[in-house]
Amino acid sequence: MRRVAALAALLVLGAAPVPANRPVSIDLPFDATLFPDLGRGAPAADAINNNCLACHSAEMVLNQPALTRAEWAAEVTKMRSVYKAPVAPADDAAIIDWLTAMSSRLPAMRSSLSASG
Ligand code: HEC
């Protein structure tokens, strides 16, 4: 009899309506799908957007601490040598320029991007 009750309970549970899949929206603290334009007079983001989004997000890079120019250069070298990133050598300078300029604007950029996202 117990077994019958357990089976009945299972049947009732099994027949419970399955909730429909609904889109769920979550708010990430810092949301940038592309490397942003840094504004007038700043290096363009084209080179970094063309070379650095194949494997990870822009956020991942933008959430790093501010680095010096030499440290960013080492980072680009590491992407190429360790992770085999197909970064066009002709784009290195533009990428490193952008990253260095970005680092100097980091606190302001973080707050403006999280406010707009
Ligand atoms: C071929 C794939 C690939 C490409 C393209 C790529 N990366 Fe990465 N990158 C990685 C991997 C893998 C990691 C390590 C991720 C992890 O630890 O979660 C990483 C991590 C990073 C980090 C975090 C710090 C670190 O050293 O782990 C930074 C900053 C970064 N990448 C910048 C760049 C920049 C700038 C470019 C363009 C020049 C670039 N990446 C292109 C694969 C790539």
User: What CATH homologous superfamily does 29-116 map to?
Assistant: Cytochrome c-like domain (1.10.760.10)
Burial grade of 69 (CB within 10 A; 0-12, 13-18, 19 or more): middle
The string of pLDDT tens digits covering residues 5-20 is 666 655 666 665 666 7
Which residue from 79, 114, 117, 111 is spatially nearest to 95, judged by alpha carbons? 79
Q: Which two tokens stand for residue 50?
A: 């063309």
Q: Is the CB of 58 under 6 A from ligand 1?
A: no
The reported pLDDT for the residue numbered 14 is 61
Q: Is the CB of 94 under 6 A from ligand 1?
A: no
Give, as one character, the DSSP assignment of residue 103: H
Q: Is the CB of 96 under 6 A from ligand 1?
A: no
- Ligand 1 atom nearest the C-alpha of 51 is 37
The reported pLDDT for the residue numbered 107 is 75
- Ligand 1 atom nearest the C-alpha of 75 is 26
Burial grade of 97 (CB within 10 A; 0-12, 13-18, 19 or more): middle
Average pLDDT over residues 88-110: 91
The CA distance from 53 to 117, in Å, is 19
CB contact at 8 A, 62 and 109: yes
The residue contributing the CA closest to ligand 1 atom 21 is: 61
Going from the Cα of 84 to the center of ligand 1, the distance in angstroms, rounded, reads: 10
CB contact at 8 A, 30 and 63: yes
- Ligand 1 atom nearest the C-alpha of 87 is 38
Q: Is the CB of 54 under 6 A from ligand 1?
A: yes
The string of pLDDT tens digits covering residues 38-97 is 988 999 999 999 999 999 999 899 989 999 999 999 999 999 999 999 999 999 999 999
pTM over 0.85: no
